[in-house]
């Protein structure tokens, strides 16, 4: 879309000759039909080219196929007729006699070479307050040499462009309401999403906690079972140790009894006697007392009188020594 003011002043170039034809002076349009009719080139002796002969409307130049397509305006009556009608500031009225303003801008499609819409200005102050009136191509429009006439009902249905202050305030209000609604919707979605995420994470944590609790219970049961096994083993070992201790005590008792029952022990002998049952691991060395034959005395019976043999034996003993021994080295001999 191009405003026709941006086309005025562009250079026209012939593609076949590569020649400069001149500068665009005016764009001729018909607002009733919504068409671009052609271009007027030059100032002194103006010439024209029809829209259908224009190859390209570029950003910097206008391209036509050959230079002979540019002809004097006398040979192009349609362009010459509408030359003055296509200028800006043509007044616009409704068919009810109401003045709307003047044509301030006209916009065309440079590819289709058609008029898309035009703007009507009601004056600087009204334009500032209410904005420009943007008019599409309306059926029933009359585009004459001195004025543009529009159907009143069609104008009422069109309305003003959102360019004035009142329109801007309304637009800002609508925009603010839309943005607020968008923010509210986004916040609501974020809250919903966060809530759902929190619920999911809470469920995951609960599942993990339940799993850990189950694992802990399994470990506790395993430890309990192993403790029972260890206790049973300790009890069995204690019973075995008790039985072994009883056996050792019994053997110790038998050994002591055997030592006591011996009639003839060697003088100076040493006996190893286990301590009784309260300490079966300890041992005690007991020295067996020497047998003293001299300590033995023959006590005569009160009923028996001494005989001659007894007296003889006593005498012999006295002669052998005072201590009764026969050792020659004895000091008592």
pLDDT tens for 75-113 read 999 898 888 776 768 899 999 999 989 998 999 999 999
Cα–Cα dist 144/132, whole Å: 22
pTM: 0.48
What is the per-residue pLDDT for 243?
86
Which is the CATH superfamily of the domain at 2-161?
PRC-barrel domain (2.30.30.240)
Tell me the pLDDT tens digit for each residue of 232-277. Answer: 888 888 888 888 888 888 888 877 777 766 544 555 554 445 555 5
Beta strands in 122-230 (DSSP E): 133-135, 142-143, 148-150
**Which of the 8 DSSP states describes residue 99?**
E
* Section 300-324 average pLDDT: 47
Q: Is the pLDDT of residue 290 over 90?
A: no
Burial label for 185, CB within 10 Å (0-12, 13-18, 19+), is: exposed
- What is the DSSP pairing of strand 148-150 with strand 142-143? antiparallel
What is the per-residue pLDDT for 298?
44
Structure tokens given for 272: 């190893």
Cα–Cα dist 180/174, whole Å: 10
List the domain boundaries for the chain. Answer: 2-161
pLDDT classification of 288: cutoffs 50, 70, 90: very low
Q: What percent of the chain shows pLDDT beyond 90?
A: 31
Contact by Cβ (8 Å): 147, 103: no
What is the per-residue pLDDT for 130?
65
């Amino acid at each position: 879309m191009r405003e026709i003011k941006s086309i005025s002043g562009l250079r026209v170039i012939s593609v076949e000759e590569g020649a400069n034809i001149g500068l665009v002076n005016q764009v001729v349009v018909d607002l009733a039909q919504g068409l671009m009719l052609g271009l007027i080139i030059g100032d002194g002796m103006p010439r024209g080219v029809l829209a259908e002969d224009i190859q390209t409307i570029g950003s910097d130049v206008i391209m036509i196929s050959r230079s002979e397509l540019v002809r004097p305006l006398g040979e192009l009556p349609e362009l010459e007729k509408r030359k003055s009608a296509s200028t800006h500031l043509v007044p616009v009225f409704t068919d009810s006699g109401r003045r709307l303003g003047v044509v301030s801008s006209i916009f065309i499609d440079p590819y289709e070479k058609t008029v898309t819409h035009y703007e009507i200005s009601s004056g600087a102050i009204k334009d500032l307050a209410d904005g420009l009136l943007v008019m599409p191509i309306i059926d029933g429009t009359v585009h004459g040499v001195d004025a543009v006439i529009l159907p009143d009902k069609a104008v009422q249905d069109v309305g003003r462009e959102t360019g004035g202050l009142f329109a801007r305030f309304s637009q800002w209000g609508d925009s603010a309401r839309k943005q607020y609604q968008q923010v509210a919707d986004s916040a609501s979605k974020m809250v919903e999403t966060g809530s759902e995420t929190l619920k999911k994470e809470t469920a995951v944590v609960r599942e993990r906690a339940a799993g850990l609790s189950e694992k802990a219970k399994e470990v506790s049961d395993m430890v309990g079972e192993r403790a029972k096994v260890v206790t049973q083993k300790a009890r069995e070992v204690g019973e075995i140790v008790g039985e072994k201790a009883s056996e050792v005590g019994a053997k110790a008792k038998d050994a002591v009894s055997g030592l006591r029952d011996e009639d003839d022990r060697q003088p100076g002998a040493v006996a190893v006697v286990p301590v009784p049952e309260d300490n079966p691991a300890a041992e005690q060395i007991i020295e067996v007392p020497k047998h003293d034959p001299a300590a033995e005395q023959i006590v005569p019976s009160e009923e028996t009188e001494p005989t001659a043999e007894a007296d003889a034996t006593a005498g012999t003993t006295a002669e052998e020594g005072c201590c009764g021994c026969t050792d020659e080295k004895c000091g008592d001999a």
